[in-house]
Structure 1
Amino acid sequence: MPVASKIERCLQALTATFGHSVYKGKQQDVIEAAVTGIDVFVLAPTGMGKSICFQLPAVIEDSGVTIVVSPLLALMKNQAESLRRKGINVVCFNSEMSPEDKLEIIRDLADGVYHNRLLYITPESLCNADFLGMLQPVYEDGGLNRLVVDESLPSLRRIVLPSLMQEWGHDFREGYRRLGVFRRKFKNVPIMALTASATDAVRRDIIHSLGMSEDRLFQAIHGFNRENLYYEVKYSPPRTSLSHMSEIAEYILDMHQRRGKSSCGIIYCRTRKLCNELASFLRGKGLGVRAYHKGLTPNILDKTLREWTDGTIDVVVATIAFGLGIDKGDVRSALIFLFHLVLSERS
């Protein structure tokens, strides 16, 4: 398909499928660069519509599949469900799938049947030797349209932000750093990397780690001044954990009263134990609250994410990973409770 036709199709799908009349920020520049087949790096804050930068070019293709590497199952599910509501065929390939479902996806790809325009996958699963081997005939058939590395910050080296690397964990970090194997095996497949937080050093590291082309690379760097955000640091004297929890409950209840209705929010805690304790305490105050962390079963996590997204519950008490790339426009507060972090981790 000619590039001009792809650009026109993207504009049509922007309105017909995604419900937007115009592009936002540098979306148009990114999308038009992507459909030419070059590598693209996007640095933009949350709320700037990074996801549409790879979703639009993916859905307008007549065949083939765009592989989206995503760091979190919650993020995968959130984006996949949003796309399905728009009538877009998308699938998540992850550890929670049954062997039968995985085999069906693999067979479709191997047979050249591209039912799904986007395939979401974790870095560890993509780097699996068997999965890469399965992709080889797909590549030779021209069926790999693009590799997208969504929320690519975790590919940075340990020396840049040691505390962040410790939070993400060894397996998470190494899975992302191994993604360079994709470019070595499938040299002609364009790569798009997107992140909401990266210094110049981190940006260079992401580009290098993924093997992105220096000669055929478009970079879109957005400004980070968010006039709609209000930041507050509140110092509390050393007190019991129960006193701090009571203070958080009062803050949330006061916000609800001022707004005249419940408000959606996230509370970040350092440990799973604290997530559970705070969520239980807030529920005791009559608030719609659930904990969210990897110590809970997939069914509970799915239910919590679904009910938080549709407004059944108001607040999620979570460890650091929750919220990364989540598309929910009515989040009114994000609190960090007893959480010692560098700012880059939540920016």
Structure 2
Amino acid sequence: MAMMDIDWTLRRVFGKKTFRGCQREIIEKVLEGRDVFVLLPTGHGKSLTYQLPAVCADHGTTVVVSPLIALMHNQVDFLVSRSVNAVCLNGQTPSDERQRILKDLTCGHPKTRLIYVTPELCATETFRRHLAIVYAQFELNRFVIDEAHCCVEWGHDFRRDYRLLSYFKEQFPRVPVMALTATATEKVQRAIVRILRLPSPPQLAVFTTSVNRPNLHYEVRYFLDHDPDSLYDDLAGFLGPYYDRLRRKHGTAEYDALAAGRDGCGIVYCRQRATCEQVAERLQQGGFGARAFHAGLAAAVKDDVMRKWVVGSKGYEIVVATTAFGMGVDKPDVRFVVHWDLPKTIEGFYQESGRAGRDNKACRVILFYSRYDRDRVRYLRDLKRQDRDVSASQGGEQTSFSSLVAYCENDSQCRHRMLAAYFDRPAGVRAVPAPDFCARACDVCKDRADVRRRKQALADEPEDY
């Protein structure tokens, strides 16, 4: 594929002027037919690295394994809007639509360029038989495994059926495989390569970069306990002045940032579905455009919330969601992410926070922390460990959670550097941070004395981490 074809496709199909970071280099390796491993932070355009080659191909289909149905629909909606023939196939696909997709897939000259499927579907014999037909017709171009860390048992988003995807290499050896993730330590990277039966470098083209996101302003807010009223007052205290500043910024008292859906969208992450409902309701009562999003809602409701939040519809500026929301969604202007509850892992915290500021503009990342909530997460984790055999994952989970607690308890070290020390240094990506690594983009670097003062709220509780 000539370089001008890549640039032409970038401009005419995807509406982008230039490649970002190492996107071009990744795409070149994909077009060479190489197996590829990509570790790039959220917002660095991983999706383009497999979508563009799929569009450039003269024929054939790229199979994309994705963990979330909402995410698949978001990706397909975007591609279809750019006149790319892309489809979703999952357990919610109507029977007639399913038959149409499979008929096209196995016809010998499929029109579908990208087909998004769940790992659970890939585990079924029926779908595997259809893949075998496409493989025999030489129309199977590439397997793409998005959120590849889900195949690792001690990872933060483990999905059992992801571990079965090794059969791609076993049953279809001439089809290249591409694995992508935004959060993986060196240990997790090695596990992904091993589980998916990928070759070792240099046969495997590996692309990694530093996890540092200097446009994110990290902040921890301390509470003696996890009282919902205190947390809500703090959240409303942040949102009110935040929107007031937006109105002043745009120079008119009549400017309504909420109604315009501009510069004012964000995500509040909660651990439980009931909490999502309660927080969203209180925000609505407080005059904020908030909606709940979790797996317990009807598919039509979730789809409505996702679509309207993405386009910035009035009343849908803030989504109060469980952790999966926003994964892979191409919404560049998320200006704040708030963690109402303590995440279970530092990988989860980093990935969820990374859904803000994909346009590289400044945004806020706020985590509500109490030692009461810390102990509750630890207790629930221990109960889960007793219920099933997780001996292989204990060390990774404990290390990850302990690192997140240390991040929260920290009142002297740059939060950006702490995240980089966890993710980057073991992989050898960046040993010495650049001088502008943080540039006062965290509460510690901005005002250590204030962080220490605020942390005094924890004085009556033991550290014990």
Relative to the length of structure 1, the TM-score reads 0.93
Kindly indicate whether the alpha-carbon contact (under 8 Å) linking 1:157 and 1:205 is maintained by their aligned counterparts in 2: no
**1:341 CA drift (Å):** 2.8
Kindly indicate whether the alpha-carbon contact (under 8 Å) linking 2:61 and 2:110 is maintained by their aligned counterparts in 1: yes
- Correspondence 1:69-148 to 2 at 5 A: 69-148=65-144
Deviates more, 1:206-215 or 1:129-138: 206-215
**1:239 CA drift (Å):** 5.9
What is the SS of the residue equivalent to 1:58? helix
Q: Which amino acid aligns with 2:337?
A: A
* Identical amino acids, percent of aligned pairs: 38
- Correspondence 1:151-300 to 2 at 5 A: 151-158=147-154, 161=155, 164=156, 168=157, 173-214=159-200, 216-238=203-225, 240-260=227-247, 261-262=257-258, 263-300=264-301
**1:342 CA drift (Å):** 2.3
Kindly indicate whether the alpha-carbon contact (under 8 Å) linking 1:268 and 1:339 is maintained by their aligned counterparts in 2: no
Pair 127,10 (structure 1): closer, same or farther in 2 beyond 3 Å? farther
Kindly indicate whether the alpha-carbon contact (under 8 Å) linking 2:104 and 2:112 is maintained by their aligned counterparts in 1: no
Q: Which amino acid aligns with 1:34?
A: V
What is the SS of the residue equivalent to 2:219? coil
Q: Which amino acid aligns with 1:266?
A: I
Q: Which amino acid aligns with 2:321?
A: A
**1:20 CA drift (Å):** 2.1
Pair 340,43 (structure 1): closer, same or farther in 2 beyond 3 Å? closer
Q: Which amino acid aligns with 2:59?
A: S
Query: Which residue of 2 is the match for residue 25 of structure 1?
Result: 21
Which residues of structure 2 form unaligned runs of 5+? 248-256, 259-263, 351-465
In 2, distance between residues paired with 1:286 and 1:113? 54
Q: Which amino acid aligns with 1:327?
A: D
What is the SS of the residue equivalent to 1:22? coil
| Alignment pair present for 1:47 and 2:43 | yes
| Alignment pair present for 1:317 and 2:320 | yes
Deviations 1:304-340 (A, max 9, x none): 0011001011011011111111110110011000224
**1:244 CA drift (Å):** 1.6
Query: Which residue of 1 is the match for residue 303 of structure 2?
Result: 302
**1:231 CA drift (Å):** 0.3
**1:107 CA drift (Å):** 1.0
Which stretches of structure 1, 4 residues or longer, exceed 4 Å deviation after superposition? Answer: none
Structure possessing the higher relative contact order (Cα contacts under 8 Å, 6 or more residues apart): 1
Kindly indicate whether the alpha-carbon contact (under 8 Å) linking 1:292 and 1:301 is maintained by their aligned counterparts in 2: yes
**1:127 CA drift (Å):** 2.0
Query: Which residue of 2 is the match for residue 334 of structure 1?
Result: 337
Query: Which residue of 2 is the match for residue 58 of structure 1?
Result: 54
**1:193 CA drift (Å):** 0.7
In 2, distance between residues paired with 1:240 and 1:59? 51
Query: Max radius of gyration: which structure?
Result: 2
Q: Which amino acid aligns with 1:251?
A: F
Deviations 1:62-114 (A, max 9, x none): 21100000011121111111111111111010111111111111111121241
**1:238 CA drift (Å):** 2.4
**1:153 CA drift (Å):** 1.3
What is the SS of the residue equivalent to 2:284? helix
In 2, distance between residues paired with 1:293 and 1:20? 32
In 2, distance between residues paired with 1:239 and 1:38? 49
What is the SS of the residue equivalent to 1:25? coil
Which residues of structure 1 form unaligned runs of 5+? none
RMSD between aligned residues: 1.4
Deviates more, 1:188-197 or 1:216-225: 216-225
**1:197 CA drift (Å):** 0.5
What is the SS of the residue equivalent to 1:255? helix
Kindly indicate whether the alpha-carbon contact (under 8 Å) linking 2:343 and 2:349 is maintained by their aligned counterparts in 1: no
What is the SS of the residue equivalent to 1:231? strand
Kindly indicate whether the alpha-carbon contact (under 8 Å) linking 2:105 and 2:112 is maintained by their aligned counterparts in 1: no
In 1, distance between residues paired with 2:343 and 2:27? 37
Aligned residue pairs total: 333
What is the SS of the residue equivalent to 1:178? helix
Kindly indicate whether the alpha-carbon contact (under 8 Å) linking 2:266 and 2:337 is maintained by their aligned counterparts in 1: yes
**1:274 CA drift (Å):** 0.4
What is the SS of the residue equivalent to 1:346? helix
In 1, distance between residues paired with 2:293 and 2:10? 33
Deviates more, 1:317-326 or 1:209-218: 209-218
In 2, distance between residues paired with 1:24 and 1:230? 22
